[in-house]
Structure 1
Amino acid sequence: MADYSFGYGGIGSGLDISTIVNQLVAADRAPQNKRLNTLESGTKFKLSGVGSVSSAFNALKTALDGLQKVDALGARTVSSTMLSLGNGAPVTGTADAVLTPTAGRNTPVGSYQVDVHALATAHKLLGAGNAVGTTFGVGTLRVAIGGDSIDVAVKAGATLADIRGAINDAAGKYGLQAAVLTSDAGQHLSLGSAKTGAANAISIAVVEGGADLQALVEGLAEQSPAADARVSIDGLLTTSATNTITDAVPGMSLALRQTGVSRVEVKTDPAGSRAAVDGFVKAYNAALKAIGSATSYNAETKTPSSLTGDAQMRGAASQLRNVMNDLLGGLAEQGLDAKTLGLQTQGFPNPDGSLVLDAGKFNEAMAANPAKVIAALTDESGLAAKLNDVVKNYVGPDGAFTLRDKGLNAQLKDIGRQREALDTRMDAAAKRYRTQFVALDSLMAQMTSTSTALAQQLAALSAQTSNR
């Protein structure tokens, strides 16, 4: 509260004018301030309730959006069994030494025989031995890898290490790696591709230079070819520049390790698919609980919650329950009742409309008829889509809860403006009271002065009379 003291005491009256003005203004402010405080606290209380329910509905919408995705219930498990090794070695142990498979959601379920004929390899060239300290004359080498060709300048007196450095500086960014290896035969120039596959072959030629550079290039022999991986999946041949096959079976990836034959099994994963439904059930129950908490009434303490008796909240809870009951009825008509699918509303002893999912029954339904369950829950006309249409009426830019939140915040801003107006009125009242009390003080000072003068005159008259 503002302090309206102005450092002026009642000189003529002896009154503490500042204190009196503050008390009068406080008395004037009290009823208006109480009204605004009550209105503000009530608005904030409602705003917190609407916010908690809105948050729960947004979480429900997120869960429903996830359930509507085409791969929401498409979780898969994948395993592989090694049948034979390409080198003829006996198969031992349970680990698959031929390949490692992974499967994404909605990978076609089935058994696939994978025959790895050859692995992808990186091209590598290795030169003949040169005596340590050998130098080369000036010239130009042209190296190529894949579709890229680069000229490399060789300075007069360059050593094998200098040539290696020049090649790496010019062609390293294209994936060409040069090195100098040492053996009993001397130093050897090694050129290798950082990438596997036939498309990444290396070549080198002398553009300019003498016989020494020509001998260096002609002495390079292939150590490892530039080759693609070759794999047959159920008899269909596919090639890859790398040892990872990703486009043969939708959603499945095969990391190749060595030649041989393996059988890959892709199965539905009911537990993995159930995660999306579990998330929806939890979010749905949380939305109902949020409304219940915001509208509850404590009979013992006679304390209402932020939205006790709120018609909008009662309507939202009722709509959720009614729509869900209709949707569960629709599932039952499709043969996916509570006994089959495992999804139902809470019964005795707490029939509050919340949902319960029996994991075992759901897993059995997914294993027995996954296409039917997926369609019933995730299709455009399925449970998730229909319930989501209801939830969208409450959240989002034009949702009922969103608009109400905006209205309550606007009300708080209006209360702030009323407080500013009240402060302005109280400042004016304080000025008015100060003016009046200062005038009163001045008048009382004049009256005191007059009284003193009269008293002095009367005393003088009395003294004159006594002397006679």
Structure 2
Amino acid sequence: MADFGYGGIGSGLDISGMVASLVAADRKPADNALNLQQSKAKMQLSAVGTVKSAFDLLTTSLKALKASTAFDARLVSATKSGTDDILTVTSTNAAATGSHEIDVTQLATANKWIADTSVPKTKTFGAGTLTLDVGVGDKKKTLEIQVEADDTLSSIRTKIEKAGRSLGVQSTLIASGDNQFLSISQEKAGTANAIKLSAGAGNADLTALAASMSERTPAADAKLTIDGVEVVASENTVTDVVPGLTLNLKKTGKSTVTVSTDVAAARKVMQDFVTAYNGAISAINTATKYDIENKEPSSLTGDAQMRGASSQLRAMMGGVLKDLAAAGLDPKTLGLQTRAYPNADGSLVLDATKFEAALVNQAGAVRQALTGDDGAAAKLFNMVDGYTSTTVGKEGAFVSRTKSINATLTDIDKRRKALDVRMAGVEERYKKQFLALDTLMGKLSQTTSSLSAQLSQLAG
């Protein structure tokens, strides 16, 4: 309300104060009603938001539970020879549980050749041809290397590496004073990647260079037995023998590889669900509780939607527990049950020891009952998603409720602005009325003064 700061000239009245008081009195009932509606809506919005957040966490936990990934997780280990690894092993979820006896009898090695004879750094070899064979049998590739008349051992080395680089061939020089030794090696292990350098006819220096190459490390395959079955691999990383297992061979010797279910991963996913479920139940209870001692309701006490959500969630969980029991996974076996009297509040408790035992003894049954599109997690997820989904056209009940409350708050803001406009008009009306009164009282005052003066003259 504008403060026009106008005092009564003719009357001496505090017109500004009187107008402000009258406008405030007129505005108060509407303001109180709007404030009450706004406060109630904000408290409901906060409470619904808290419950929705709890349901969102439950949705997330159910997604993880129904995905089954955690129930497929594997722990894998390999025994050592003393303090040294014979091999290390990694696994994917495709690995079957069990153990494997592995005996590594030979490691794969990469071929390496070094010249027995050194060559002066400045020596040139004359024109000719070197031949580099990579591989064996029908898969062998032969590379011809053209040597120019002024090529030194350094430039020949460069040409050898350039020709064989794509096939894993490396070439280096080892300096010894003013002389150098040629070294040729293969990055890739296995007999299939063997290398051999030879020279064409007609150049004695190139022939001598090729003949001086001595095999320092032979090309060899890895050899091992897995549960008595002989295996040959071109590399020390063996990936295609036991499904889901990758063996990284370190040295020869025997080792036992054990694959087991990672019960800790599955237990965490299950415990996360139990925690989220209890959080959802607790959030509804808090939002709808009635303070008996102080006789004060909460913002959603008696709310039909919250009662429905609580009843639906508890009923669905009760059905799930019955289905689990029918599948041989009752509380004594699986370790999952509702909290018992005297703390029976609808929440769940999980006996981790029993749950882990069930994973070890009945892994398939537990996985089938809880995970997948037909498991308990999927049934619960579909129900909870009906409250939390943000998909256009399929919005969950809590999402729609939140939008509705926000729309109410927006409407209250609009009504408050409309009230401001209306009160400005009321203020202007009061102002005009009081100004008119003040003018009239001013005239009356003047008339009174004039009459008094005239009467005084008559009396004199």
Residue 458 of structure 1 is matched in structure 2 by 454
The one-letter code matched in structure 2 to 1:305 is S
The one-letter code matched in structure 2 to 1:109 is T
Structure 1 residues 33 and 175, CA, compared in 2 at 3 Å: closer, same or farther? Answer: farther
Q: Is the 8 A contact 1:148 1:174 kept in 2?
A: no
What is the 5 A alignment of 1:349-360?
349-360=342-353
The one-letter code matched in structure 1 to 2:46 is S
Deviation of 1:346 after TM superposition, in Å, equals 1.4
Q: Does 1:430 align with 2:427?
A: yes
Aligned with 2:416 (options 401, 414, 419): 419
Q: Which segments of 5 or more consecutive residues in structure 2 lack a partner in the other structure?
A: none
Residue 303 of structure 2 is matched in structure 1 by 310
The one-letter code matched in structure 2 to 1:101 is V
Structure 1 residues 435 and 363, CA, compared in 2 at 3 Å: closer, same or farther? Answer: same
Residue 61 of structure 1 is matched in structure 2 by 59
Q: Does 1:109 align with 2:114?
A: no
The 2-side partners of 1:446 and 1:222 are apart by 130
What is the 5 A alignment of 1:110-259?
110-116=98-104, 118-121=106-109, 126=114, 129-131=118-120, 181-183=174-176, 186-188=179-181, 223-224=216-217, 229=222, 232-234=225-227, 243-259=236-252
TM-score with structure 2 setting the length: 0.78
Q: Is the 8 A contact 1:48 1:306 kept in 2?
A: no
Q: Is the 8 A contact 2:114 2:215 kept in 1?
A: yes
Structure 1 residues 183 and 404, CA, compared in 2 at 3 Å: closer, same or farther? Answer: same
The 2-side partners of 1:379 and 1:193 are apart by 48
* CA RMSD across the alignment: 4.5
The 1-side partners of 2:344 and 2:172 are apart by 76
The 1-side partners of 2:167 and 2:299 are apart by 66
Structure 1 residues 416 and 58, CA, compared in 2 at 3 Å: closer, same or farther? Answer: same
Deviation of 1:81 after TM superposition, in Å, equals 2.9
Deviation of 1:43 after TM superposition, in Å, equals 0.9
Structure 1 residues 432 and 169, CA, compared in 2 at 3 Å: closer, same or farther? Answer: farther
Aligned with 2:367 (options 374, 378, 383): 374
Residue 293 of structure 1 is matched in structure 2 by 286
Structure 2 SS opposite 1:393: helix
The one-letter code matched in structure 2 to 1:436 is Q
Deviation of 1:153 after TM superposition, in Å, equals 13
Residue 98 of structure 1 is matched in structure 2 by 86
Structure 1 residues 243 and 36, CA, compared in 2 at 3 Å: closer, same or farther? Answer: farther
Aligned with 1:42 (options 26, 40, 43): 40
The one-letter code matched in structure 1 to 2:454 is L
Deviation of 1:390 after TM superposition, in Å, equals 1.8
Structure 2 SS opposite 1:68: helix
Structure 1 SS opposite 2:79: strand
Q: Does 1:264 align with 2:257?
A: yes
Q: Is the 8 A contact 1:60 1:280 kept in 2?
A: yes
Q: Which segments of 5 or more consecutive residues in structure 1 lack a partner in the other structure?
A: 83-91
Q: Is the 8 A contact 1:295 1:306 kept in 2?
A: yes
The 2-side partners of 1:422 and 1:215 are apart by 107
Structure 1 residues 129 and 297, CA, compared in 2 at 3 Å: closer, same or farther? Answer: farther
Q: Does 1:325 align with 2:323?
A: no
Residue 407 of structure 1 is matched in structure 2 by 404
Q: Does 1:383 align with 2:376?
A: yes
The 1-side partners of 2:8 and 2:186 are apart by 100
The 2-side partners of 1:350 and 1:330 are apart by 24
Q: Does 1:365 align with 2:358?
A: yes
Structure 1 SS opposite 2:257: strand
Deviation of 1:72 after TM superposition, in Å, equals 2.8
The one-letter code matched in structure 2 to 1:99 is L
Q: Is the 8 A contact 1:96 1:262 kept in 2?
A: no
The 2-side partners of 1:100 and 1:67 are apart by 30
**Larger CA deviation: 335-344 vs 443-452:** 443-452
Structure 1 residues 14 and 185, CA, compared in 2 at 3 Å: closer, same or farther? Answer: same
The one-letter code matched in structure 2 to 1:295 is T
Residue 87 of structure 1 is matched in structure 2 by none
Structure 1 residues 420 and 161, CA, compared in 2 at 3 Å: closer, same or farther? Answer: farther
Deviation of 1:178 after TM superposition, in Å, equals 6.4
Structure 1 residues 14 and 386, CA, compared in 2 at 3 Å: closer, same or farther? Answer: same
The 2-side partners of 1:375 and 1:68 are apart by 10
Residue 276 of structure 1 is matched in structure 2 by 269
Structure 1 residues 131 and 361, CA, compared in 2 at 3 Å: closer, same or farther? Answer: same
Deviation of 1:124 after TM superposition, in Å, equals 5.2
Structure 1 residues 446 and 164, CA, compared in 2 at 3 Å: closer, same or farther? Answer: farther
- Kindly, what percent of the aligned residue pairs are identical? 47
The 2-side partners of 1:227 and 1:409 are apart by 73
The 1-side partners of 2:290 and 2:406 are apart by 25
Structure 1 residues 16 and 72, CA, compared in 2 at 3 Å: closer, same or farther? Answer: same
Residue 2 of structure 2 is matched in structure 1 by 4
Residue 347 of structure 1 is matched in structure 2 by 340
The one-letter code matched in structure 2 to 1:26 is A
Deviation of 1:380 after TM superposition, in Å, equals 3.0
Deviation of 1:172 after TM superposition, in Å, equals 9.2
Structure 1 residues 216 and 287, CA, compared in 2 at 3 Å: closer, same or farther? Answer: farther
The 2-side partners of 1:375 and 1:434 are apart by 80
Deviation of 1:257 after TM superposition, in Å, equals 1.1
Residue 51 of structure 1 is matched in structure 2 by 49
Q: Is the 8 A contact 1:71 1:106 kept in 2?
A: no
Structure 1 residues 400 and 140, CA, compared in 2 at 3 Å: closer, same or farther? Answer: farther
Structure 2 SS opposite 1:72: helix
Structure 2 SS opposite 1:4: coil
